[in-house]
Structure 1
Amino acid sequence: MDTLTYRPRIVRRGLTYSFINIPPSSTTASKPYILFLHGFPSGSADWRHQITHFSGKGYGVFVPDLLGYGASSKPSDTAWYKGKDMAADLMEILDAEGIRGKLLGVGHDWGSFLLSRMANYYPDRFLKYVFLDVGYSAPGAGLSLQVLHFIDGMVKEKLGYSVFGYFLFFNEEDAGKLMDEHPDSTLSLFHSRDEELGKKYLGAQGGFRTWLSQAKTAEWPNYLTEKERAALLMHFSIENGGFGPATNWYRVQTQGLNEDDEKEIPKENYTLTHPTLLFTCQNFITKAADMAGQMRPLAPDFTVKETQAGHWIMLELPDEVNQELEGFFEK
């Protein structure tokens, strides 16, 4: 990643996006671009193993730092983070970069949500879709605070634990400040493979506030080197904007700001009309949601790859992910 060049581009909304754009190699110009979309708390660097692999195979690779991250703009107003608008931002940049061919779309976490909206609004711009851990998000599946509390109660009654404590915490006024004060606590917990720790301090309501207030830390996973951990901490440092802006991806949902836009999406665009692959992971939050079961009715050409990885599968199992992606892209 140290040798890759980021470029900025300002979109019509006046926002700046920073991104990596590696064109297809001249000897394999027929290979398409792959669009990689990251989630929270992360950034474009989380795709480093895929960038190296697929650019080396001759694919074009386009990897942005999404709104609220890295050198991209970090507006504080939640309304800037609407799915329709962010999807349009990326399409505008792709067009300006001369990337007008059909894309292979890959999303993880909130990147899966944005890929979902790009698929709804611009289905003709894609060849295939891939979702890692977090699956396709159909329009109209609102996550207001009331809905979150209702779902959380149902999950706790059925499975014995909560899953949305952290999501609710991000709607509290001092959430960003607390995370900025305890970046190691924040990032080590999100990367922890200790499921019981996650249930107690991420899933349970009030758990994440307790975790941060007590400055607890979890054991970092071995898929991150010391240098990579330091880079991730710097990525979310106060000097670089902290965690607060990125939590708007959560608040735009709880405030219902996507609902009017999503009502305008044609019903026929709810279905994913291109081949779709889902990687399932051993993540207590997504396991409770049964991502594959939710997606099947909306993805006629659907493949599921079950794995033993945690949430950060592209970092934990890069070779397996790259092999599966390559096979899916080329069949």
Structure 2
Amino acid sequence: MNPTDPQTFNHRTAQISTGRLYHFIDQIPRNYSPTRPPIICLHGFPDSWFGWRHQIGPWCRQGFRVIVPDMLGYGETDMPHDSSAYSTKNICNDISALLDFLAIPKAVVIGHDWGSYTAGRFALWHPDRLIALVMLSIPYVPPKEQYTSIEEIARLYPPYGYQMYFASESSTSEVEENLVPFLGVVFRTPEKAFPWSKIDELITNKKINFTDDCLLNECELQFYVSRFQRGMRGPLSYYRTTKTRFEEEKEAQLPANLLPNLPVLFMYGTKDATCPPASVQNAHKFISQLNTVALEDVGHWVMLEAQDRVASEVLRFLSSLGSSQNSRM
């Protein structure tokens, strides 16, 4: 497994029971022992299985089977046109079906960004499939009792203003037409960030080289560009599910609290504007076994900005589970 070469990973595709075709990495250690729980990693926006390239190897070398799907709408995984297909309930059902396909009854679920939100909801929709939960950058929030529109969310917390733009249909073609500058701006450290809420704010000054100071090198950037050649409708559709998610969770009467015996690790960068400190503290109300790790001077892209630390902290967390993880398998 060479993080600079996507082809050195073990690629698979599967038609799962929900009817979706999923592409995923399935990295199995030599002399794999089922006493080690399998790990499934869920990426966020605008990412890919490739976002976990620096962690797959270290975890696999420590004996863990690591499964990393391209999420629905990304890469070589199916891209439904209807935005409702991207509701968290549907995505969680897909992840459960992928585990079924692989004959894995329970797993450690790790998520970043939208993948973190989805991982937290997986613990509500499919609590019986979890050994432990790791959330990166986006803290757990419980299902809402009352509907809050994305416009209201952006008003209450202005750093989330970009979500209102992504939820608009116009963002699809605008992002597609400006893919390189868009990725060059999104994948940045906080110190090098450009303030923006709409794509036209990124391209008003054509003299700016948006790939300067990008966290991705030229080869990595081009790989991401190739992954989004099918279009951005699928990835952006996650932001268009606010009402659908609320209605599905209300109908199912999902609980606010995670299971009291579920070990949970939350890791975040202290300079990540999408992770308000109050939200981190609030998560403790709903998670009995919550461990938090603050990555000082790190922004949103923790798997890139703190590659080794993320890998080692997860290994430390899993080793601390001891015999309790075997009882959950």
The 1:245/1:230 distance shift into structure 2, 3 A limit, reads: same
Q: Deviation at 1:180?
A: 1.0
Q: Find the counterpart in structure 2 of residue 19 from structure 1.
A: 24
Question: What is the SS of the residue equivalent to 2:244?
Answer: coil
Q: Find the counterpart in structure 1 of residue 246 from structure 2.
A: 259
The 1:144/1:246 distance shift into structure 2, 3 A limit, reads: farther
- Choose the corresponding residue for 2:199, options 208, 220, 230: 208
Q: Deviation at 1:305?
A: 0.6
**Distance (Å, rounded) in 1 between the aligned partners of 2:26 and 2:104:** 10
Does the 8 Å contact 1:105/1:130 carry over to 2? yes
**Distance (Å, rounded) in 2 between the aligned partners of 1:36 and 1:109:** 11
Question: What is the SS of the residue equivalent to 1:28?
Answer: coil
Q: Deviation at 1:171?
A: 2.4
Q: Deviation at 1:313?
A: 0.6
Answer yes or no: is 1:115 the counterpart of 2:119.
yes
Question: What is the SS of the residue equivalent to 1:107?
Answer: strand
**Distance (Å, rounded) in 2 between the aligned partners of 1:321 and 1:330:** 14
- Choose the corresponding residue for 1:103, options 94, 103, 107: 107
Answer yes or no: is 1:321 the counterpart of 2:310.
yes
Question: What is the SS of the residue equivalent to 1:286?
Answer: coil
Question: What is the SS of the residue equivalent to 1:29?
Answer: coil
Which aligned pairs between 1:244-323 and structure 2 lie closer than 5 A? 244-253=233-242, 256-266=243-253, 268=255, 270-273=257-260, 274-288=262-276, 290-307=278-295, 308-323=297-312
**Distance (Å, rounded) in 2 between the aligned partners of 1:220 and 1:323:** 29
Choose 174-183 or 257-266, whichever is displaced more: 257-266
Q: Deviation at 1:110?
A: 0.4
Q: Find the counterpart in structure 1 of residue 155 from structure 2.
A: 153
Question: Which amino acid in structure 1 is aligned with residue 241 of structure 2?
Answer: V
**Distance (Å, rounded) in 2 between the aligned partners of 1:287 and 1:259:** 21
Q: Deviation at 1:330?
A: 0.6
Question: What is the SS of the residue equivalent to 1:106?
Answer: strand
Q: Find the counterpart in structure 2 of residue 171 from structure 1.
A: 167
Question: What is the SS of the residue equivalent to 1:297?
Answer: coil
**Distance (Å, rounded) in 1 between the aligned partners of 2:219 and 2:49:** 16
The 1:185/1:120 distance shift into structure 2, 3 A limit, reads: same
**Distance (Å, rounded) in 2 between the aligned partners of 1:269 and 1:88:** 19
What TM-score do the two structures reach when normalised by structure 1?
A: 0.86
**Distance (Å, rounded) in 1 between the aligned partners of 2:26 and 2:305:** 24
Unmatched segments (≥5 aa) in structure 1: 156-161
Q: Percent identity?
A: 27
**Distance (Å, rounded) in 1 between the aligned partners of 2:95 and 2:184:** 30
Over residues 198-251 of structure 1, what are the superposed CA-to-partner deviations in whole Å (9 max), with x where a residue is unaligned?
Answer: 4x214xxxx4332146555534446533221221121122xxx12222100000
Answer yes or no: is 1:230 the counterpart of 2:222.
yes
Question: Which amino acid in structure 1 is aligned with residue 151 of structure 2?
Answer: H
Q: Deviation at 1:50?
A: 1.1
Does the 8 Å contact 1:166/1:208 carry over to 2? no
Question: What is the SS of the residue equivalent to 2:276?
Answer: helix
Q: Find the counterpart in structure 1 of residue 130 from structure 2.
A: 126
The 1:221/1:304 distance shift into structure 2, 3 A limit, reads: farther
**Distance (Å, rounded) in 2 between the aligned partners of 1:242 and 1:191:** 19
Q: Find the counterpart in structure 2 of residue 159 from structure 1.
A: none
Which aligned pairs between 1:11-50 and structure 2 lie closer than 5 A? 11-50=16-55
Which aligned pairs between 1:2-17 and structure 2 lie closer than 5 A? 2-17=7-22
**Distance (Å, rounded) in 1 between the aligned partners of 2:146 and 2:193:** 28
The 1:270/1:322 distance shift into structure 2, 3 A limit, reads: same
What TM-score do the two structures reach when normalised by structure 2?
A: 0.87
Q: How many residues align?
A: 312
